[in-house]
Structure 1
Amino acid sequence: MKFAFSSNAFTNYSLIDSTKLISQVGYTGIEIMCDVPHAYPANFTDKMLQELKSMLEENKLEISNLNAFTLFALGDTYHPSWIEKNQDKREQRINHTIDCINLAYQLGAKNISVEPGGPLLPSENLSKEKALQFFRQGIESVLPVAEKKQIKILIEPEPGLLIENSRQFLEFMKNFDSKYLRLNFDIGHFYCVNEDPSTLISDLREYIEHFHMADIKDRVHYHLIPGLGTIDFKQVFKAIKDISFDGYITVELYPYKDKPLEAATTSFNYLQNLDH
């Protein structure tokens, strides 16, 4: 199995320093946060691009994924989302996603992950049907770019958002027939909505391109260092091996911004013991 660590735990560090540290721990991959303060495409100059490519090569790190989920540069974790009532805000999300696709192409990355629509806010009085329509239209706007650049867009279901479980994901995917729209399988997210990740891995195998990993305690959505929660990762890893998955599993621990190196190291040691 191939393990990566997400730079979104290292927001107190530059992306270059994050790359060095993640490599020193022993990971062979890095997930890059396409947002401030790391690789927000609108601010990411050619010089920064070349410096990152050199640093990745020097540290023998592959890119597991470009994380295009958050958008703190323009709003917050979720906003502007795909399902804003305001069309200009939806366009901001669409344009950002296209920028992330282009950045992935420049970096030689294979995929980007995106939020599953966004949160349905009672204050906006938006029906679920209309929100799904907005999300579908947004994906339709970016998918031709992804197909042209051969970059896969990975939808990441999350508790409390428009698409939060496997049934909703599969229903949404009926709108599309493209190998460039797939799934970022977040183990903890599915666990939080009372689904069994071990079973789902087989059920969703044709869509899975990348895994996010963090532990969860008692199905409460808070990312913990693997081993500190209640997910049975032995069973999960067995299921991953059973489908002959050869991509990356990225540990995503953004709550550990104050001690990311410790979190990355503890997780890596846990994974080495678990995978043997």
Structure 2
Amino acid sequence: MKLCFNQATTLENSNLAKDLELCEKHGYDYIEIRTMDKLPEYLQDHTLDELAEFFNTHHIKPLAFNALVFFNNRDEEGYQAIITEFKEMMETGKKLGVEYVVAVPLVTTDKFLKQDIKKSCVDVLTELSDIAKPYGIKIAVEFVGHPQCTVNTFGQAYDIVDTVGRDNVGLVLDCFHFHAMGSNWEDLENADASKIFILHIDDTEDYPIGFLTDVDRLWPGLGVIDLDNILSILQEKDFSGAISVELFRPEYYKMEAEETIRIAKETTLKAVANYYNLQTI
């Protein structure tokens, strides 16, 4: 089992170059690279070759590009933009050795029938699967636990991935999102763990279902999410994907980046200690 750092955790107090140095120093195995801001920022002063060389000469490796956003139920222009962006991710990801692209469903105030959401997701993910296959990169769908996300529970996301039925299409299980819209425990208990590619670990304050937003996240183990139940179920199912700490807490952005990265690791290791041995350096 490996430990990963998601760049959202230092979104406002760091950059990719600094995150890489600090995560290497503190013994993380992987990083999730934010493609909407942190990677373009890095490429203003560096090259992809430099980034690839860093990964080739250091312990830390790139787990995922985060993220291909709003991939489903788009108009024709939006759909074509998603396909173009994904193809670019494949080329860049191959050069860097990225294992996954995280795909986030559409968040909107528009109403779509659930059957139309599922059809769109399945159709697009099937096409993305075909594109990704020769690159050896997998697609990890991350449902978002908010009422305005078209795919907002574990069960809904799992059904979509199961219908796609491709080995290179699976899920991100984010503990915050699982809790935030009251995902069904039975859906997790009945799931095939091989379809869960990445676990995002985090915690949250005690707000009602449907009211939680990312800024309510807390260090793992310091909130009300039943992390023990999630981890025990995954352990029983022999889940072996990476555990990635992802927080969006404004107070944490006011800290020094190194302190954020250090505490994120310490709280994560403590939260998972009874279930997984994260063999960090």
State the partner residue of 2:267. 270
| Alpha-carbon distance in 2 for matches of 1:197, 1:100 | 34
AA aligned to 1:61 is I
Query: How many residue pairs align between the two structures?
Result: 261
When residues 268 and 55 of structure 1 are mapped into structure 2, their CA distance, relative to the original with a 3 A threshold, is same
Query: 2:143 aligned with 1:157, yes or no?
Result: yes
AA aligned to 1:31 is E
Q: In the TM superposition, what are the counterparts of 1:1-276 in structure 2 within 5 Å?
A: 1-11=1-11, 12-36=13-37, 38-40=38-40, 48-70=47-69, 81-84=71-74, 86-116=75-105, 118-122=106-110, 126-159=112-145, 160=147, 161-195=149-183, 200=188, 203-218=191-206, 220-221=212-213, 222-255=216-249, 256-259=252-255, 260-274=257-271, 275=273
When residues 262 and 201 of structure 1 are mapped into structure 2, their CA distance, relative to the original with a 3 A threshold, is farther
Structure 2 gap segments, 5+ residues each: 275-281
| Alpha-carbon distance in 1 for matches of 2:123, 2:43 | 27
AA aligned to 1:215 is D
When residues 251 and 206 of structure 1 are mapped into structure 2, their CA distance, relative to the original with a 3 A threshold, is same
AA aligned to 1:13 is S
| Alpha-carbon distance in 2 for matches of 1:115, 1:90 | 14
When residues 198 and 90 of structure 1 are mapped into structure 2, their CA distance, relative to the original with a 3 A threshold, is same
Structure 1 gap segments, 5+ residues each: 71-77
Instruction: Using the aligned pairs only, state the percent identity.
Output: 20
When residues 53 and 61 of structure 1 are mapped into structure 2, their CA distance, relative to the original with a 3 A threshold, is same
Say whether the 8 Å CA contact 2:9–2:247 is kept in structure 1: yes
Higher relative contact order (CA 8 A, sep 6+): 2
Matched residue SS, 1:158? coil
Query: Shift of the alpha carbon at 1:152?
Result: 0.8
Deviations along 1:36-83, whole A, 9 cap, x unmatched?
2x2249x959x622211222344410222221145xxxxxxx5xx532
Say whether the 8 Å CA contact 1:211–1:248 is kept in structure 2: yes
Query: TM-score, normalization: structure 2?
Result: 0.80
Deviations along 1:110-163, whole A, 9 cap, x unmatched?
2111102x12423xx554444443333322332211112121101111123111
Query: Shift of the alpha carbon at 1:263?
Result: 2.7
When residues 29 and 173 of structure 1 are mapped into structure 2, their CA distance, relative to the original with a 3 A threshold, is closer
| Alpha-carbon distance in 2 for matches of 1:24, 1:197 | 37
Query: Shift of the alpha carbon at 1:2?
Result: 1.6
